[in-house]
Structure 1
Amino acid sequence: MKIITSPAKLMNVENSTEFLKSTTPKFIEEATLIHSYLKEKSPQYLSELMEISAKLADENWHRNQVWKPKPTAKESAPALFAFTGEVYRGLDTKTLSKDAVDYLQKNHRILSGLYGLLKPSDKVMLYRLEMGRNFEFENYKNLYEFWSDKITEHINAELKKNELLLNLASNEYGKVINRKKLNNPVVDFEFYQTQPNGKLKTIVVYTKHARGLVARFCAETNAKTLNDVKAFNYENYLINEELSTNQKLVFVR
């Protein structure tokens, strides 16, 4: 079973772990190519591309100036610990056991606009480049065009026959994987909050958090089958069998 998640805008390279030996991202050469174009962009361009404030644009311009493919330990952190957004608050990696971290190292992959695809142990520096932004470079109109085949082929190579791919990524990131070329079944997820009137509602921040919770649950329970994943029950979530299928699991609380 393999699990994919999106990265996060919030990062902290001061986080680390003794459980993982640092590794170099698989697509570091491709990341270096993308960065060579990103580094030349002005703060104003970054502000318009990413729809961020001038202050954030300046901050990310500075990150682009110091980014390097082979950072030191002080300049980087393992990807699993570097991202600190809502998904990773749900995953709460700093409180995981060594066995759980080992499970994630084997099974969890993080999609990235800059790095393409990351293992938990891969060293990353602070950066911001969302997959869905229309960043044009060379002959590529966007990052999907650049990454889709590369990421899809690599995931195919990692998946064993009939092994499930749990898609806990956002739509923005998940669609970089070309499912028509994928050899294995994909399982999608939906998370609903029960409202006072009994109706079900999707709330984005809770969905992000729940994606991290599912990844944590799988790691802590050594989940291997679809039935194992269906048992997910952290923070009062329960499977809704009526709404779920083998291709989409729906959890409600």
Structure 2
Amino acid sequence: MRILISPAKKMRVDTDSFAPETLPAFLPETQRLLAALQSRTAKELQRLWKRNDAITALNFRRLETMDLRRQLTPALLSYEGIQYQYMAPGVFDRDQLAYVQEHLRILSGFYGLLRPFDGVTPYRLEMAASLSVDGHKDLYAFWGDKLARILAGETDLVVNLASKEYSRAVIPHLPPSVRLLTCTFGEQKGDKVVEKGTMCKMARGQMVRWMAEHDVQSAEALTAFSDLGYRFSPAHSQPDHYVFLKEEP
């Protein structure tokens, strides 16, 4: 089993809690992306990032001094978004850390596919960014089937907890031999299941934590997840799509 999650925009440096164990698998590709970003002017990067002057200036300075091999933070501790706050990897015990190291993979526009203890540095590059590199029109074309091939070589089950922006870099390229299971966290509104962004991020992070706490090894075991008021809904689910509905208070 491999669990896919998205990165977070906000990142931090933490060289004290845990030391990185490995470098990212696609570091040569990341080096090419870095060179492409460094060749852009600040104005061009602001249009690419679609961010205000302050965030643009911060990330432009990062690019000027970026070192992909030194002063690195384990990927699992580097991202600071809501999903990671609810996962709370900083308080995982040894067995839970071992679980996520084996099963969890983080998708990244800049690094491709990250293991939890791959060393990373703060960057700004979302998967949907319109960055043309090496003749590829965007990052989806740049990464192609590389990420899916790595996953297919590791597992026959992918649990997709990533956003559509990021899972799109993998799902079209997975071979039929790999079962893809996507999880949705929503609320019943009439005949529809409606997802709310913040709640989805909370639930995805909480599910990763729950899986690590319970040493989940099968897709079917996920149906027991019942945190944050969500319950598995057999009526709304399919073998390749599990739906968890938030109960009315």
Give the TM-score band, short-chain normalised: over 0.9
- Rounded Cα–Cα distance in structure 2 between residues aligned with 1:148 and 1:80: 24
* Pair 1:9 & 2:9 matched: yes
Deviations 1:46-67 (A, max 9, x none): 2111211011111111111111
Q: CA deviation at 1:43?
A: 1.7
Match of 1:193 among 187, 196, 214: 187
Alignment check: 8 A CA contact 1:191 1:207 kept? yes
Q: CA deviation at 1:71?
A: 1.3
Alpha carbon RMSD of aligned pairs, Å?
1.8
Indicate the residue corresponding to 1:112 in structure 2: 108
Change (3 A) 1:71 1:225: same
* Pair 1:176 & 2:169 matched: yes
SS in 2 for 1:190: strand
- Rounded Cα–Cα distance in structure 1 between residues aligned with 2:229 and 2:40: 46
Alignment check: 8 A CA contact 2:133 2:142 kept? no
Q: CA deviation at 1:147?
A: 0.7
Q: How does 1:198-237 map to 2 (within 5 A)?
A: 200-237=193-230
Q: CA deviation at 1:166?
A: 0.4
- Rounded Cα–Cα distance in structure 2 between residues aligned with 1:14 and 1:48: 29
Q: How does 1:73-152 map to 2 (within 5 A)?
A: 76-152=72-148
Change (3 A) 1:15 1:210: farther
- Rounded Cα–Cα distance in structure 1 between residues aligned with 2:40 and 2:103: 35
Alignment check: 8 A CA contact 1:34 1:137 kept? yes
- Rounded Cα–Cα distance in structure 1 between residues aligned with 2:73 and 2:69: 12
Gaps of 5+ in 1: none
Indicate the residue corresponding to 1:63 in structure 2: 62
Alignment check: 8 A CA contact 2:148 2:170 kept? yes
Change (3 A) 1:86 1:225: same
Deviations 1:125-160 (A, max 9, x none): 01010000110122111010011211111111111x
Counterpart AA for 1:5: I
- Rounded Cα–Cα distance in structure 1 between residues aligned with 2:145 and 2:81: 27
SS in 1 for 2:69: coil
> TM-score, with normalisation over the residues of structure 2?
0.93
Indicate the residue corresponding to 2:49 in structure 1: 50
Q: CA deviation at 1:198?
A: 10
Alignment check: 8 A CA contact 1:15 1:82 kept? no
Deviations 1:172-207 (A, max 9, x none): 000001435423010011111357x89753211111
Q: CA deviation at 1:104?
A: 0.4
Alignment check: 8 A CA contact 2:20 2:119 kept? no
Deviations 1:73-103 (A, max 9, x none): xxx2100010011111121111211111110
Gaps of 5+ in 2: none
- Rounded Cα–Cα distance in structure 1 between residues aligned with 2:6 and 2:144: 15
- Rounded Cα–Cα distance in structure 1 between residues aligned with 2:170 and 2:221: 24
SS in 1 for 2:105: strand
Alignment check: 8 A CA contact 1:194 1:252 kept? yes
Q: CA deviation at 1:250?
A: 0.6
Alignment coverage as a number of residue pairs: 245
